[in-house]
Structure 1
Amino acid sequence: MDSERAAREQAVTDEVVASFGGAGSDRYRELMQSLVRHLHGFAREVRLTQGEWDAAIAFLTRVGHLTDERRQEFILLSDVLGLSMLTIGINMPASAGATESTVFGPFFVDGAPEIPLGGDLAQGAKGTPCYVSGQVRAVDGAPLAGVRVDAWQADEDGRYDIQYEGDRTQGRGWQRTGGDGGYRFWSVLPTAYPIPHDGPVGELLTAAGREPMRPAHLHFKVAAPGYRPLITHVFVDGDPYLRSDAVFGVKDSLIGRFTEHTGGTAPDGSPRHGRWTQVTLDLVLARQDSS
């Protein structure tokens, strides 16, 4: 590219960057000026064509049209581009001994029901019964009582309740830890499933030759005053998609052992008939001011 053309292109970038110079917020100015530099740099690096730009605008428009209170296509886009996990890494640096964070995902719903300790989170969701338990504690080992623990998951068909027609609530709920920091509930054994791929994000994956699969997992969201909020999963050991998660969310420390049983007595003392499983996962929180 000749120097005259390069100068003209740089002048456009410089003009746009300067237009944000009078922003009332230093942070807003920093974000927007950096965004402009990187976007313009990308366009120059790949020599973006008008047709490609039009296709990108059409793609983002479809992402927006598909997003509603039941489906978040923008979160899916962020997830499959790895931006969600990168943002988590930036904002939740590793704290020795604390449970690692992973992606939030698009299927959390406000207003899930409260489940008593030892209660039924599945609420009719299809699948092999699974007893889930553990302790919420601080890095120093102190149990954290009265902490809210949200959990949600797909059923054995790989679908969340909000992916079904109608107004069902299954496979999700929350409870508060007991005096020993413990939480416990019955749910179903998680199964692998594809992220929604019938929309523009699915087209992106297909064009890239990528699979839409997520390994089997159970979501957790934990919040306690004075501690960093925790968004995490427990993944099923041995799942074939652990090394090819469509949203890059797997961390070795989050792979749990789901023990299989037939009949017998469950940890809560209830008699069981047929196949059931159990997993234990302690959720360890870092203090808000820790680095």
Structure 2
Amino acid sequence: MARAPNARVREIAEAFVRHMHAFAREVKLTEAEYGIGIDFLNRIGQATNDRHNEGILFADAIGFSTLVCLQNNGDNGATETAAALLGPFWRMHSPATANGASIVRSPTPGPELFVSCVLKDAKGAPIAGAEVDVWHSSPVGLYENQDEAQADMNLRGKFITDAEGRFSFRSVKPAGYPVPTDGPVGDLLRAQRRHPYRPAHIHFLAHKDGFKTLITQVFVDDDKYLATDAVFGVTRHLVGDYRRHDQGTPPAPGMAAPWYTLDYTFVMEAGEAKLPIPPIK
């Protein structure tokens, strides 16, 4: 590897081999266990397709995705909004949606939700013209690509922040859900006697030139799995105030009690605007 012309490739490859050899020595890996490990990696690849990414799910389930995320975001704690893992369900081409409009694109029973957000820079100034992707699971805990009963792109939308850095939308309150367990990651969780559940949350991806792309999630504050998220994605910064309303004037016409509201402020760091590779199509 010393002849590799790219210094970063050389550094990563050397460290990877060094730690893999150290791992095998530490656990005294047997030949049978080695074979199981190779089969596990092969099955991850075989379980990945246009609608599901088992590789991302595996990285999530061992906390690796969150570790990489936390190492590369936060500006040493100077920002108020922590980044979070992308997850395996982001699709790049969500439909453009007007501020205040609904992202419910097919019948989706559940408590109504109105979300109001603002994007600011590190000095507190609003960020206008940012593109914000939103996606979340349904009240039965399924994303639309997992559920034939939902229309394509249901509970997904793309918004542009106004002059005050604001965007808003109507939806339904998401539910927590188990990560897919019919592949090798499910086998891993069962072997470790771990539950597969994620607490309810909404995903956000904010993108604008001059700012580091913000990928994050806002979790429902009363979810019982906040402290034991199967993919280690929850931080205190990411727990939102999903407030229930049983009376009063709803924030949008046609909403009936009880409804929920979420108000949240995101802070974007200065940096390079770069979109991730979509884990599914």
Alignment of 1:58-137 (within 5 A): 58-93=39-74, 94-124=76-106, 125-137=108-120
Q: In the alignment, what sits opposite 1:272? A: 255
Alignment match, 1:200: 184
- Residue 188, structure 1, aligned to residue 172, structure 2: yes
Q: 2:63 and 2:255 mapped to 1: Cα distance?
A: 41
State the AA in 2 paired with 1:184: S
Deviation at 1:273, TM superposition (A): 2.2
Quote the residue 1:50 is aligned against: 31
Measured at CA, do residues 86 and 239 of structure 1 come closer, stay the same or move farther in structure 2, by a change above 3 Å? same
Does the CA contact (< 8 Å) of 1:265 and 1:271 recur in 2?
no
- 1:172 aligned onto 2:147: no
1:8 — aligned with what?
Answer: none
How far apart are 1:263 and its partner, in Å?
5.1
Q: Distance in 2 between matches of 1:267 and 1:190?
A: 18
The sequence identity of aligned pairs, in percent, is: 39
Q: Retained in 2: the 8 A contact 1:263–1:272? A: no
Q: Indicate if the aligned counterparts of 2:250 and 2:256 stay in contact, CA closer than 8 A.
A: no
SS of alignment partner, residue 119 of structure 1:
coil
Amino acid at match of 1:120: S
1:284 pairs, out of 267, 271, 281, with 267
Deviating above 3 A after TM superposition, structure 1's stretches of 4 or more consecutive aligned residues are: none
Q: Could you say which structure has the larger radius of gyration?
A: 1
Pick 1 or 2: higher relative contact order, CA cutoff 8 A, min separation 6: 2
Kept after mapping to 2: 8 A contact 1:161/1:169? yes
Contact 1:218 1:235 in 2 (8 A): yes
Which runs of 5 or more structure 1 residues have no equivalent in the other structure? 1-19
Give aligned pairs, total: 269
Q: Which amino acid aligns with 2:221?
A: D
Matched residue, 2:203: 219
Number of the residue aligned with 1:160 = 143
The whole-number CA distance in structure 1 between the counterparts of 2:73 and 2:257 is 41
Structure 2 runs not aligned, ≥5 long: 273-281
Q: CA deviation at 1:271?
A: 4.6
Q: Cα distance, 1:127 vs. partner?
A: 2.1
Kindly provide the CA deviation profile for residues 102-124 of structure 1, in whole angstroms up to 9, marking residues without a partner as x: 11100001211011000111223
Q: Which amino acid aligns with 1:179?
A: A
1:140 match: 123
CA distance in 1: counterparts of 2:51 and 2:255, whole angstroms:
35
Contact 1:98 1:286 in 2 (8 A): no
When the two chains are superposed, the root-mean-square deviation of aligned CA atoms in Å is: 1.4
For normalisation by structure 1, the TM-score amounts to 0.89
Whether the 8 Å contact between 1:128 and 1:277 is mirrored in structure 2 is yes
